[in-house]
């Protein structure tokens, strides 16, 4: 990965973090908001590969850790794992097909919600799984998938631009 793509990816993560915490913090639907950092993590892994998913997931998780004020590294580990497993399915990615990336984001959001539910609620003796599933996990999943559907054309456009830019800089442009 070159320096320009790294800087642009960090800026994208920062903008998504600010939008998630400020913009979508005030525009919540059913008291949940879309998980933009998860969208970036899942799609980075799915579109580019395991290594990209790991480092993007780690950075997104660190942003979430810093904003939550809880244990540093908890969300970084969860996002890192999600980025890695999405990267494992990189060979299935075709940018014309929107169903697989939407499925990857949906499954990632479901796994994220379940991991948080188990580690933060079940281990503390709170066993209201149905309430958590129907009031938080599934509405957030639907909202996140809807936002992914709206952002996907922009993400594909950026991905094609970044690829073309790297090819021109390396002199391999055909």
Query: Could you give all domains of the chain from N- to C-terminal order, each with its CATH number?
Result: 3-170 (1.10.1760)
Confidence class of residue 122 from pLDDT cuts 50, 70 and 90?
A: confident
Distance CA(75)–CA(73), nearest Å, equals: 6
Distance CA(54)–CA(69), nearest Å, equals: 22
Whether residue 116 has pLDDT greater than 80: yes
CA distance to 7, 14, 35, 113, 159, per residue, from 18 (Å): 16, 6, 12, 21, 21
Query: What's the mean per-residue pLDDT of the chain?
Result: 87
Could you tell me if 105 and 148 are in contact, meaning their C-beta atoms sit under 8 angstroms apart?
Answer: yes
Instruction: Tokens 């936002």: give the residue.
Output: 147
* 44: nearest Cα among 170, 125, 159, 148: 159
Summarize pLDDT for 64-106 with one digit per residue, the tens.
999 887 789 999 999 999 999 999 998 888 877 889 999 999 9
Q: Which residues contact 25 (CB under 8 A, 6 or more apart)?
A: 33
Summarize pLDDT for 24-44 with one digit per residue, the tens.
766 766 678 889 999 999 999
Alpha helices, H only, 69-137: 74-87, 99-120, 129-132
């Amino acid at each position: 990965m070159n320096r320009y793509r790294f800087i642009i990816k960090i800026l994208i993560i920062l903008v998504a973090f600010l939008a998630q915490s400020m913009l979508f913090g005030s525009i919540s639907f059913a008291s949940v908001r879309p998980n933009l950092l998860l969208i970036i993590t899942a799609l980075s892994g799915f579109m580019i590969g395991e290594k990209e998913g790991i480092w993007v997931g780690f950075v997104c998780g660190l942003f979430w850790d810093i904003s939550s004020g809880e244990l540093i590294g908890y969300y970084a580990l969860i996002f890192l794992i999600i980025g890695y497993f999405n990267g494992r399915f990189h060979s299935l990615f075709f940018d014309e097909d929107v169903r697989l990336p939407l499925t990857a984001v949906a499954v990632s959001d479901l796994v994220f919600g379940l991991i948080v539910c188990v580690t933060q609620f079940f281990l503390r003796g709170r066993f209201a799984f149905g309430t958590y599933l129907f009031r938080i996990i599934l509405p957030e999943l639907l909202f996140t998938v809807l936002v992914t559907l709206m952002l996907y054309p922009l993400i594909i456009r950026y991905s094609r631009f970044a690829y073309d830019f790297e090819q021109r800089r390396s002199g391999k442009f055909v």
